[in-house]
């Protein structure tokens, strides 16, 4: 059965516990804005609030297309395609049957849950449960009613202006609306992990900017393009703007390579990256650093290394992948659309000077002494910040925004 039978999509936000009172109104407003942004390509879709709920009116757009766009909106816990019926018994019964038949789940058992928001409707909700269920059963005799654990819960919400009927519930991306939990800087390499870490941070409501270190001309133009492509993909999940800071790292890296502490090069590089990132964070008013570290994945991601590396930063370092396995990270990277780019073979600045046996448990004193022995390190760090090039990424085609309706004035 076609999924084009639907008129609207019902949107569900986070749980009542996380978003109460005043926060909820704000959360809903930000979420509605994000949904509008995600639905820009669908010029007739309208986001509105009716009877205290957030809906998208499809106005002829296929539900599946809208659903695909909604799956990327953070803060949306789940959503359901809805068909509207006139507020009379026959229309409700027929529409309920159509919605039941269009639903994608298995259909051996079901129940009907009617809510009568408009009390003047002549049948109360208990009566309506029976009247709707018996109509569905007449058309589908092998079907059984199961009140406790039905495969399908057919819901009917009766309001004065219409009855809203749905049963499919699709999972949304969850989390918080983009930007609702502060701002961080993402250390973005060209690999698989850091874009996924960025996406997880964004999903938790962090507004992000990316910082990438390159060692041009040792690293190629393609390596830079690769990072820009990854950042453009992450742009898709933002509020329409994503900054990428490209930091020249060649001089610093070269001086570490000459320090005589080959096994500590990665530790030294990571610490310098954090120092530079903190300075950019101050400039950009960001208050966290996000990395793609995953415990034990490589030498620089052992607990010992993370300790010595992290000591240099005063901002919290958020590591969304720290407890995740690589297979799960890869799966996420495929889902968010960064995997294909991440596996392109261009070298990263860190792969250039990789020692044969990097320290897995570096000694903080030796690391600090090595840094102190490089006399112009602080100046090189300042220089790198000064010569950082910032690219502001925006969507290429500014499509027409989804229309706002009269009902939107409630914001």
Which does residue 291 bind out of Mg ion, ligand ATP, none, counting CB within 5 to 8 angstroms by kind?
ligand ATP
Residue (177 or 248) nearer to ligand ATP, CB:
248
**Does residue number 191 form part of the binding site for Mg ion (CB under 5 A)?**
yes
Q: Enumerate binding residues for ligand ATP (CB under 6 A).
A: 187-189, 191-194, 211-213, 291-293, 297-298, 300-301, 348-350
Q: Which residues contact 304 (CB under 8 A, 6 or more apart)?
A: 360, 361, 362
DSSP 8-state secondary structure symbol assigned to residue 403? P
Residue (162 or 292) nearer to ligand ATP, CB:
292
**Does residue number 198 form part of the binding site for Mg ion (CB under 5 A)?**
no
Residue (164 or 213) nearer to ligand ATP, CB:
213
Q: Which two tokens stand for residue 282?
A: 């101050």
Whether the Cβ atoms of residue 296 and residue 323 lie closer than 8 Å to each other: no
Strand partners, 391: 244
**Does residue number 338 form part of the binding site for Mg ion (CB under 5 A)?**
no
Nearest to 296 by CA among 305, 285, 309, 287: 305
Between β-strands 317-318 and 289-290, what pairing exists: parallel, antiparallel or unpaired? Answer: parallel
Which does residue 297 bind out of ligand ATP, Mg ion, none, counting CB within 5 to 8 angstroms by kind?
ligand ATP
Alpha-carbon span 361 to 207, nearest angstrom? 33
Alpha-carbon span 27 to 180, nearest angstrom? 8
Which does residue 57 bind out of ligand ATP, Mg ion, none, counting CB within 5 to 8 angstroms by kind?
none
Residue (75 or 191) nearer to ligand ATP, CB:
191
Whether the Cβ atoms of residue 67 and residue 104 lie closer than 8 Å to each other: no
Residue (163 or 266) nearer to Mg ion, CB:
266
Residue (334 or 408) nearer to ligand ATP, CB:
334
Which does residue 188 bind out of ligand ATP, Mg ion, none, counting CB within 5 to 8 angstroms by kind?
ligand ATP
**Does residue number 248 form part of the binding site for Mg ion (CB under 5 A)?**
no
Residue (1 or 343) nearer to ligand ATP, CB:
343
- Taking CB atoms, the residue at the shortest distance from ligand ATP is 191
Residue (49 or 212) nearer to ligand ATP, CB:
212
Alpha-carbon span 257 to 360, nearest angstrom? 18
Which does residue 341 bind out of Mg ion, ligand ATP, none, counting CB within 5 to 8 angstroms by kind?
none
DSSP 8-state secondary structure symbol assigned to residue 299? G
CB of 101 to ligand ATP, least distance (A): 46
CB of 263 to Mg ion, least distance (A): 18
Which does residue 200 bind out of ligand ATP, Mg ion, none, counting CB within 5 to 8 angstroms by kind?
none
Q: Helices 377-386 and 250-257 sit at what angle, rounded to 10 degrees? A: 160
Here's the x/- map for Mg ion, 348-377, by CB under 5 A: it reads as x-----------------------------
Nearest to 264 by CA among 147, 360, 150: 360
CB of 279 to ligand ATP, least distance (A): 14
Alpha-carbon span 131 to 95, nearest angstrom? 13
Strand partners, 247: 213
Helices (H), 140-220: 193-203
Q: In the chain, count of helices (H) and strands (E)?
A: 14, 15
Cis omega (within 30 of 0) for bond into 247 = no
Output b/e per residue, 270-287; b: 16+ Cβ within 10 A.
Answer: bbbbbbbbbbbbeebebe
**Does residue number 189 form part of the binding site for Mg ion (CB under 5 A)?**
yes
Here's the x/- map for Mg ion, 218-247, by CB under 5 A: it reads as ------------------------------
CB of 321 to ligand ATP, least distance (A): 8
Binding stretches for Mg ion (CB under 5 A): 189, 191, 348
């Amino acid at each position: 059965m076609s999924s084009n039978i639907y008129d609207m999509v019902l949107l569900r936000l986070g749980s009542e516990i996380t978003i109460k009172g005043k926060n909820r109104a704000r959360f809903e407003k930000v979420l509605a804005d994000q949904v509008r942004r995600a639905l820009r390509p669908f010029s007739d879709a309208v986001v509105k609030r009716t009877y205290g709920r957030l809906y998208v009116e499809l106005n002829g757009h296929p539900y599946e297309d809208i659903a695909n766009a909604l799956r990327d909106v953070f803060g949306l816990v789940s959503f359901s395609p809805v068909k509207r019926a006139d507020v009379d018994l026959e229309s409700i019964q027929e529409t309920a049957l159509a919605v039941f038949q269009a639903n994608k789940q298995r259909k051996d058992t079901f129940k009907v849950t009617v809510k009568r928001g408009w009390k003047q409707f002549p049948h109360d909700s208990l009566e309506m449960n029976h009247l709707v269920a018996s109509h569905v059963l007449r058309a589908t005799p092998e079907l059984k009613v199961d009140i406790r654990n039905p495969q399908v819960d057919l819901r009917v919400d009766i309001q004065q202006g219409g009855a809203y009927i749905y049963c499919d519930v699709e999972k949304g991306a969850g989390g918080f609306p983009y930007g609702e939990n502060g701002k961080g800087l993402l250390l973005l390499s060209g690999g698989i992990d850091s874009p996924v870490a960025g996406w997880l941070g964004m999903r938790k409501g962090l507004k992000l900017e990316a910082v990438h270190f390159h060692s041009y001309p040792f690293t190629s133009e393609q390596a830079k393009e690769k990072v820009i492509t990854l950042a453009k993909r992450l742009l898709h999940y933002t509020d329409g703007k994503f900054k990428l800071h490209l930091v020249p790292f060649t001089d610093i890296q070269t001086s570490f390579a000459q320090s005589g502490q080959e096994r500590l090069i990665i530790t030294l590089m990571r610490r310098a990256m954090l120092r530079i990132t903190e300075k950019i964070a101050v400039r950009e008013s960001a208050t966290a650093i996000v990395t793609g570290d995953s415990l034990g994945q490589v030498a620089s991601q052992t607990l010992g290394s993370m300790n010595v590396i992290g000591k240099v930063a005063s901002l919290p370092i958020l590591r969304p992948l720290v407890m995740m396995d690589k297979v799960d990270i890869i799966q996420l990277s495929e889902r968010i659309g960064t995997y294909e780019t991440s596996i392109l073979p261009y070298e990263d600045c860190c792969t250039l000077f990789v020692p044969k046996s990097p320290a897995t448990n570096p000694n903080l004193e030796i690391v600090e002494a090595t840094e102190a022995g490089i006399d112009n390190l602080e100046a090189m760090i300042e220089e790198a910040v000064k010569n950082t090039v910032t690219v502001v990424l925006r969507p290429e085609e500014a499509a027409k925004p989804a229309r706002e309706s009269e009902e939107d004035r409630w914001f």
